Structure 1
Amino acid sequence: MAKPPRKFFTLCLFVLAAVMLSPASAHELEIHGSNTVGATLAPMLVSGYLQQLGDDNPSSRPTGEENEQILSANAGGRNLSVLVAAHGSSTGFRTLASGRAGIWASSRPVKPSEADQVRAQADLTALESEHVIAIDGLAILVHPSNPINQLSIDTIGQIFAGEIRNWSELGGSNRAITLYARDDRSGTWDTFKSLVLGKKYPLDPSAMRYESNDQLSDDVSRDPGGIGFSGLASVRNSKLLAVSDGNAPALKPNQLTVASEDYPLSRRLFMYTMGDRTPELAAQLIEFALGTNGQALVAESGFISQNPIAVKPDFDASVPLTFRRLTENYQRLTVNFRFAEGHTKLDNKAQRDLMRVKHYLEAQGRSAEDLLLIGFADTQSHELRAQMISELRALSVRKALNEAGLPRVAYTGYGHYMPVGGTGNQRNGRVEVWIKDR
């Protein structure tokens, strides 16, 4: 009898691996990925969702593996079990692609190379697959005794590349700088590398690397020479620095600057699913996370909720008098409308923010006539061109709000003034939402 060809054994091994990784194992749902999302936020969202379904309060138990836990509850006589494994954003993509995870938790957007790998099964960049569950500010942390209060993105890059090695070079104490960074599997690291280091600055080999945001922050808070970065929910006992980008003013991450994504190191936290292949339990959990109750848990966890609130901004000296007059009878909502890169189409978050603004007005007993949209453009060669672009952006949002049932919203453009990032930064092209004072 002839031996089966080598390809036969390869196929058998592939099928066996697929069966072993199948979600039809011990848990009804598995969530894999980011430590930023999985350490606290994802378990809180799972518990909140299970509590709505269940006959009793959800329970949590460790798996024996670090940064993993199982949450379970009884619902209609059936025990539901959800595994949350937080080993880094890249690990989440691999388990989603393999079919093991129903949800990939990520603290960075899907990479084009990752989206290409599963394009035959789902479009991970589409609205039905990409879900922004929270906004986070990448926090730059130092010891509480450090006299430095703000740094530019470029200076932070120089520090982490080892080009600046003593705090005295920045006006601080004569003390060597110690570097604390997340590990290579972390979406927090990917975000820091993209927003701060770029292709210009390599990470200095002396940097200590961490899987956990909380542990990194705790170690920085005990080291007078330390500097590190983490998610906003992990500041703990460290000191938080303000950050500047280009000629824009330095901003500290707070409710308004992070929710609006004006803060230079703001980032979106994601849950990705496989489009129409998403398991029902995973789809229901996503809807809960994106809704009002889920976003309230986001705020409780220490991240920034996407539920809009009205805030009276504290203007600094850089804000022009004309803008002060334009907004003097308004408060700003903690939402900016942004556009997909290279497109005039609103991005996935903005599509959902349309309904969030509508629900906010309904809850507050307000109408569309109370709103004012102010569009902004990135730096242009001519002031008139910048004004036209900013007005067109605001008009695009006005049309989208009209389609969502909010007609006749007032709008204007403010050209390329009041940038929130350096020249060429996509964050400068935005539409702010303001609401009349009562």
Structure 2
Amino acid sequence: MAHHRRSHLLLVMAIIAGLSIGVAGCRGPQSGGLTVAGSTSVQPLVEHLAERYMAEHHGEVVNVQGSGSTAGIRAAVSGAAAIGMASRELEPTERDLHRFLIAQDAIAVIVHPANPVKALRREQLRDIYARRIRDWQQLGGNPGTINFITREEGSGTRGAFQEIVMGDAEISADGIVQDSTGTVRAIVAGDRNAIGYISLGMVTPEVATISLDEVVPTHDAVISGQYPLTRPFLLVTSGEPGPRERAFMDYLHQPACQAIIEEEGYVPSAAESRS
């Protein structure tokens, strides 16, 4: 009798275990988290907001990965990421994507704090990156070859810089190409002859900003439209966002998140989307 009881008990336990495995399997995709990938300029801001979101929504996991704007858009299209991050406007071939604006950002031109050059005109900046101006002495600075840092092809930051500053001129192949905002900042911070461009929200005391066309990159200058080097911070999905994606993106427009966006040095925007 005891043997039969043990057999029945083992059978019940096996059934329960099987059901548990089945339920866990069904939960797999949900528990895998929401993957957000793309622009390394947008990444730190979204990471900050995602941490707050997860703290307030227990059980939700948001994985934020930096890979560049174009890579993020492609990840959203292919399904490798639920949401893409971009720090540039969508190209005509990308207009079928769902666009969600979270902030406006300025691209700050940065130099080493010891560099006496604190102001440039847009054409001077263009000539630096086209390699027509090669020495700081040509700009009223100390003698020294200008080491200019640029972002990689596909970067939203580079795309905005190319459009607004370079126009039809090409960025010289002599530039030092980096694939993230952080590395551009680190190189400029360690080289008195370097110049680069990064998100205004990522500027720290280890680098100095330069005024462009007599306008200093500030929050107020971005809001007023006076500062010329601005671009959007976007989240994109392939088609209409699903419930989880929509919940996260809508969360970013709550007043508390808008306040964080402003505290981080960006210009928060009202809800705007285009599908």
TM-score, length of structure 2 as denominator length: 0.83
C-alpha contact 2:219 2:266 (8 A) present in aligned 1: no
**What is the alpha-carbon distance in structure 2 between the residues aligned to residue 261 and residue 294 of structure 1?**
23
**What is the alpha-carbon distance in structure 2 between the residues aligned to residue 259 and residue 31 of structure 1?**
27
Q: CA RMSD in A?
A: 2.1
Instruction: Report the CA distance shift for 1:195/1:216 in structure 2 as closer, same or farther (over 3 A).
Output: same
2:170 to 162, 181, 202: 202
Secondary structure of the residue aligned to 1:44 is helix
Q: CA deviation at 1:281?
A: 1.4
The runs of 5 or more residues in structure 2 that have no matched partner are 1-27
| 1:286 paired to 2:249 | yes
C-alpha contact 2:54 2:62 (8 A) present in aligned 1: no
1:218 to 168, 186, 210: 186
Which residue identity lines up with residue 32 of structure 2 in the other structure? H
Partner of 1:110: 90
2:198 to 230, 235, 243: 230
Secondary structure of the residue aligned to 1:162 is coil
1:254 to 208, 214, 218: 218
Secondary structure of the residue aligned to 2:228 is coil
Q: CA deviation at 1:134?
A: 1.2
C-alpha contact 2:77 2:237 (8 A) present in aligned 1: no
Secondary structure of the residue aligned to 1:135 is strand
C-alpha contact 1:27 1:82 (8 A) present in aligned 2: no
Partner of 2:45: 41
Q: CA deviation at 1:114?
A: 2.3
Q: CA deviation at 1:348?
A: 4.4
Q: CA deviation at 1:207?
A: 0.9
Partner of 1:29: 34
5 Å-filtered alignment, 1:109-188, equals 109-115=89-95, 123-124=96-97, 129-188=98-157
C-alpha contact 2:69 2:85 (8 A) present in aligned 1: yes
Deviations 1:161-193 (A, max 9, x none): 100000111111111100111111311111111
The structure with the greater share of residues assigned to helix is: 2
Q: CA deviation at 1:275?
A: 4.2
| 1:305 paired to 2:274 | no
**What is the alpha-carbon distance in structure 1 between the residues aligned to residue 192 and residue 165 of structure 2?**
23
| 1:243 paired to 2:212 | yes
Which residue identity lines up with residue 303 of structure 1 in the other structure? Y
**What is the alpha-carbon distance in structure 2 between the residues aligned to residue 172 and residue 131 of structure 1?**
42
5 Å-filtered alignment, 1:305-344, equals 305-306=268-269
Partner of 1:375: none
Which residue identity lines up with residue 240 of structure 1 in the other structure? T
**What is the alpha-carbon distance in structure 2 between the residues aligned to residue 93 and residue 288 of structure 1?**
21
Partner of 1:57: none
Which residue identity lines up with residue 296 of structure 1 in the other structure? A
Deviations 1:361-398 (A, max 9, x none): xxxxxxxxxxxxxxxxxxxxxxxxxxxxxxxxxxxxxx
Partner of 2:23: none
**What is the alpha-carbon distance in structure 1 between the residues aligned to residue 176 and residue 30 of structure 2?**
37
Instruction: Report the CA distance shift for 1:301/1:275 in structure 2 as closer, same or farther (over 3 A).
Output: same
Which residue identity lines up with residue 224 of structure 1 in the other structure? R
**What is the alpha-carbon distance in structure 2 between the residues aligned to residue 212 and residue 302 of structure 1?**
18
**What is the alpha-carbon distance in structure 2 between the residues aligned to residue 152 and residue 146 of structure 1?**
16
How many percent of aligned residue pairs carry the same amino acid? 28
TM-score, length of structure 1 as denominator length: 0.53
Secondary structure of the residue aligned to 1:42 is helix
The runs of 5 or more residues in structure 1 that have no matched partner are 1-22, 55-73, 75-79, 116-122, 245-249, 308-346, 352-438
C-alpha contact 2:36 2:64 (8 A) present in aligned 1: yes
Secondary structure of the residue aligned to 2:150 is strand
C-alpha contact 2:54 2:61 (8 A) present in aligned 1: no
Deviations 1:28-77 (A, max 9, x none): 31111100011x111111112222222xxxxxxxxxxxxxxxxxxx3xxx
C-alpha contact 1:181 1:189 (8 A) present in aligned 2: yes
Secondary structure of the residue aligned to 1:227 is strand
Secondary structure of the residue aligned to 1:155 is helix
Partner of 2:237: 273
Deviations 1:296-331 (A, max 9, x none): 221233333348xxxxxxxxxxxxxxxxxxxxxxxx
Q: CA deviation at 1:154?
A: 1.4
Deviations 1:58-115 (A, max 9, x none): xxxxxxxxxxxxxxxx3xxxxx222211110011111111123221110001111223
C-alpha contact 2:219 2:265 (8 A) present in aligned 1: no
Structure with higher RCO (Cα < 8 A, 6+ apart):
2
Secondary structure of the residue aligned to 2:267 is coil
C-alpha contact 1:259 1:306 (8 A) present in aligned 2: no
C-alpha contact 1:288 1:294 (8 A) present in aligned 2: yes
5 Å-filtered alignment, 1:343-358, equals 348=272
Secondary structure of the residue aligned to 1:223 is coil
**What is the alpha-carbon distance in structure 1 between the residues aligned to residue 225 and residue 272 of structure 2?**
15
